[in-house]
Every structure is written in C-alpha cells, then in structure tokens.
Amino acid sequence: MTEEEKYTNNPFSVTLLFYTHKSSEALMKKNGFKIGQNNFHLLNDTEKYVSRVSKINGDLRRVFEQLNSIRVFIRRFPNKKFYYENGIGELDYIQYHTESLVHKIHTIMEIMKLMVNEVYCLGIQERNCNWKNLTRKLDKETDCLRVIDNYLDVFKDYIDLRHINTHRGIYKDGEKEEIEMDFGLDIYLMSQSLGYELDEKFQKAFPKFMIDYKIKELKKQRIEFINKTEKIINEKLKLFLSALSEEFNNRTKTFYNTV
C-alpha cells in the first residue's frame, strides 16, 4: 500500500494533525503548564475539542495497525514445543488470531461511531453511542453515516460472527474442523498427549505431510483474507474521515485563524 493510498492521506487527518500540533504548542505556553501532568484543564473549548477528536483518531489508528499484527502472528508459529506442551496447537493459534481479526473489524466500526459523536458534538454518552442514537441526532443520509452503514453491509457476516463469539463463546471454523477431523490431526494430538504410538496403517491413511500441507494452505488463505480486509477497511476509513472534514473545519477554523 503506497503512502497516497493509505487512509490517513485525507483532508480531515491532515488538518487534525496540524491542529493537534498547534494546540500542543499553545498549551506549553500557558501559565500553569506542567510536564508529565494532565494539563487538559488549561485548554480552551476549541483546544479541548481538538484533543478529544485526536484521542479517538489515535484509537482508530491503533486498532487499524493491529490488523498487520494479526497477519504477522498468523505467518509464524514460534516455540511450537512450548505451545504444544500447554495444549495449544497450530490450528488453535491460527483460530485465536482469526477471532481477534473479527473483533477488530467490529471495533473499528464502533470507533467510527464515537468519532461522529465527537466531531459533530452530539453529546451522546460513550456507552450509548449506537446507530439508533446517532440517527436520532444526525440525518442517516449524512455522508459519514452512509459510510458506516455501508461498512456494516460489507462486514455484516463477520460482525454477526463476532457477536456470537462474544455472547455465546462460539466460533465456527470449518477449515480448522476439516483438518482436525477429516485429516486425522485430532487423533495424532490425542495419541501424542497419551504417549500412544499410532500404527503404520493409520499413518498411511492419514499422512502427516497432508496435515502440514493443509495447515500451510490455511495460513495462506487467512493471510489473503487479512490483506483483502485491510484494503477494504482502508478504503472505507478514507471515505469516512474525508466526510468529517467539513464539519471539523467549521468547528475549528475561527480559533486557529487567529493563532
């Protein structure tokens, strides 16, 4: 992904970075400023607004960056002996990080809602910042809300999967189950834990090299899925943040034109 393609290359993010820098400069010149302490009370209303928006923008950036962390984790299964001794097989490791990806997809959408609430100063409490309350105060045809709505349409299946996983502890992974059951991995793991040596007939019927091949292919598929997901989210965030630019500028330009 080139610098130009990155979601941060949009008018809102560029302006927010500049305003955050200007706000920090102004803060350090204020009477009562102390390094290493919370100086939020020294800010004027516009500076506080910029600080709140910047904080949410930072949360959004960190979660988006975690998509790459998940990709790195899935690529490598380090210290296999330690993991196996603690009952964690490679498929368990892959599934754990795939579940994390599904949760990140949902989290990004929730942070987008918080961003709308803050940029438009809607005053909705964080715990109540949901679609219903947002659309009570802002027309659902507003560009930024249309992007969120489209985001939900694109990732609905995965967000539903996240809800089931969160509230019921269920995560269906057909590829993982196929390798465990149809290719004999469960039997290998069970015999290993019991110190039982499988006979030659079983090993010929369910050769380990096929299991290794299937796991390798699964990792490749998951990484391709992460790449595709990251690209789509990047595109949606660029549209979303660009749609916030006008409102943000209207709420900040008067103050910063006088700096």
- Tens digits of per-residue pLDDT, 227-236? 999 999 999 9
- Tens digits of per-residue pLDDT, 52-104? 999 999 999 999 999 999 999 999 998 888 888 888 889 999 999 999 999 99
The amino acid at residue 142 is T
Share of residues in the chain with pLDDT > 90 (%): 54
The Cβ of residue 32 has, within 10 Å, a number of other Cβ atoms equal to 8
**Domain coordinates in residue numbering, the chain:** 11-256
State yes or no: pLDDT of 188 exceeds 60.
yes
pLDDT score of 258: 45
30, 42 contact by CB (below 8 A): yes
pLDDT score of 205: 77
pLDDT score of 194: 63
Give the mean pLDDT of the chain: 87
State yes or no: pLDDT of 133 exceeds 50.
yes
- Buried/exposed code over 63-94 (b: 16+ C-beta within 10 A; e: otherwise): bbebbeebbebbeebeeeeeeeeeeebbbebb
208, 243 contact by CB (below 8 A): no
Cβ contacts of residue 120 below 8 Å, gap of 6+? 137, 138, 247
pLDDT score of 223: 96
**At 34, phi and psi to the nearest 5?**
-130, 125
